[in-house]
A and B are shown apart, each in its own frame.
Chain A
């Protein structure tokens, strides 16, 4: 059964249509990679699916809750790492503090951040901050986790660190939708790849179909461009 089903999503900004009728369905435990050139509307789609934007038309059905990991982490700098994970559970989910702290510590342990629990975000490296951000999203036990270019603000070493964490989540059958420019990563982890261009899907399929066998000129040139950069 589909955990997420979006149909004919449209969104305009000041008269310019950025999303032009997108469908997306994600099965439970599935990992979907969304790729495509800058400005094609990938972030806008994630923002619509996580409620940060309201689509002009179309329907979104999600069984359960969503979480979003941002490119810029967006941790709360005035709170310790632990409080970043605990406060939303206590305030939003009304969990008992003790239970919330226990869950937070178990997540931090999984992210290899146990000894950072009492530190503040500014004291952490970018990679550590992003792992905290992932843990914070996980703390809300989302049914689908969205990532918007989670490694774009990180240098290559730290990127590898984050990709490892996301891979681990995939092994644990976390349902995820990941916007990324890391093609090798997307190929390795995704069950399906969607290629966006100008607010529509130019292609969708298995990583192999999209990345290696696509006959589409646009997709080929985009892949070549990315590979040159890598």
Chain B
């Protein structure tokens, strides 16, 4: 196998890595906010359950959560899982894991908002929903953006964990190539590392642009 072929093969597995990344963010960024509302709910049982969920998500390895989501339905619950369950399991596991982290990030941002913003809005006659959407949320987004960037960068690397249940994303593919006969061997991992690095470089650049866009006020 030539080096060129190897690079081609690694590149071909990149869309899977990208898909896990994009779908996880699309799911977990909004879900994190929903989780926050659950956590902040005055209905105690709900808030307790949500806290328990967050605690488990943050307190156990993601790689283990991936295995539980993938295997539990068939092995524990004896459900006949669909053919594409492997991919669905990856996305579900990633989304519920990252939503827990995003919830805590949002919570920090929302709780750091000065109470005067709520009071000014209330006196002007904004409803609670209007206050949150028009006044609180935009400011919270700006406040939490650096923490969200951290998570985004971690997620790029975490996508490789999907390998544990046999998802053929970039890391799995690199492993397969590296051990194949007459392959460039370890060089494959170097190439995969470069792919991850460039991916992260682009993401960091995009996040920085968004942060700049929101720096029009203090």
Query: Which residues of A are in contact with B by a Cβ distance under 8 Å?
Result: 50-52, 65-68, 70, 72, 74-78, 87-88, 91-93, 120-122, 136-137, 140
A-B pairs with the 6 shortest C-beta distances? Answer: A74-B120, A74-B116, A92-B125, A122-B218, A88-B124, A68-B123
Query: Which residues of B are in contact with A by a Cβ distance under 8 Å?
Result: 114, 116-117, 119-126, 130, 134-135, 138-139, 142, 216-218
Contact of B123 among A66, A93, A120, A121 (CB under 8 A): A66
Task: List the B residue with the shortest CB-CB distance to A120.
Answer: B217
Which residue, of A50, A65, A91, has the highest number of chain B Cβ atoms within 10 A? A91
A70 with B125: CB separation less than 8 A = no
- Distance of A137 Cα from B126 Cα, bound (Å): 13
A78 with B138: CB separation less than 8 A = yes
Task: List the B residue with the shortest CB-CB distance to A67.
Answer: B123
B217 with A122: CB separation less than 8 A = yes
- Distance of A66 Cα from B123 Cα, bound (Å): 8
Contacts of A68 in B (CB 8 A): 123
Contacts of B138 in A (CB 8 A): 78
- Distance of A68 Cα from B120 Cα, bound (Å): 8
Known: A67-B123, A76-B120, A136-B124. A87 touches B134 (CB 8 A): yes
- Distance of A142 Cα from B218 Cα, bound (Å): 29
- Distance of A162 Cα from B201 Cα, bound (Å): 50
Contacts of B126 in A (CB 8 A): 88, 91-92
A88 with B125: CB separation less than 8 A = yes
Task: List the B residue with the shortest CB-CB distance to A136.
Answer: B124
Contact of B119 among A70, A75, A78 (CB under 8 A): A70
Nearest Cβ distance between residue A73 and chain B, in whole angstroms?
A: 8
A120 with B130: CB separation less than 8 A = no
- Distance of A66 Cα from B117 Cα, bound (Å): 17
Contacts A/B (CB < 8 Å), 22 sampled: A51-B123, A70-B116, A70-B119, A70-B120, A74-B117, A74-B119, A75-B120, A76-B121, A76-B135, A77-B139, A77-B217, A78-B135, A78-B217, A88-B125, A91-B126, A91-B130, A91-B134, A92-B126, A120-B217, A122-B218, A136-B124, A137-B124
Contacts of A87 in B (CB 8 A): 134
Nearest Cβ distance between residue B139 and chain A, in whole angstroms?
A: 6
- Distance of A225 Cα from B74 Cα, bound (Å): 79
B116 with A52: CB separation less than 8 A = no
Task: List the B residue with the shortest CB-CB distance to A47.
Answer: B119
- Distance of A136 Cα from B121 Cα, bound (Å): 11
Contacts of A88 in B (CB 8 A): 124-126
Nearest Cβ distance between residue A89 and chain B, in whole angstroms?
A: 9
Task: List the B residue with the shortest CB-CB distance to A68.
Answer: B123
Which residue, of A51, A74, A92, A137, has the highest number of chain B Cβ atoms within 10 A? A74
Task: List the B residue with the shortest CB-CB distance to A72.
Answer: B116
- Distance of A92 Cα from B121 Cα, bound (Å): 10
- Distance of A52 Cα from B120 Cα, bound (Å): 9
- Distance of A74 Cα from B122 Cα, bound (Å): 12
Which residue, of B122, B123, B138, B218, has the highest number of chain A Cβ atoms within 10 A? B123
Contacts of A74 in B (CB 8 A): 114, 116-117, 119-120
Known: A77-B139, A87-B134. A140 touches B125 (CB 8 A): yes
Contacts of B120 in A (CB 8 A): 70, 74-76
Contacts of B216 in A (CB 8 A): 120
Contact of B124 among A72, A77, A92, A121 (CB under 8 A): A92
Contact of B142 among A50, A52, A70, A78 (CB under 8 A): A78
A140 with B124: CB separation less than 8 A = yes
Q: Other than the known A65-B125, A77-B218, what 14 A-B pairs have Cβ atoms closer than 8 Å?
A: A52-B122, A52-B123, A66-B123, A68-B123, A70-B119, A72-B114, A72-B116, A75-B120, A76-B120, A76-B121, A88-B125, A91-B126, A120-B216, A136-B124
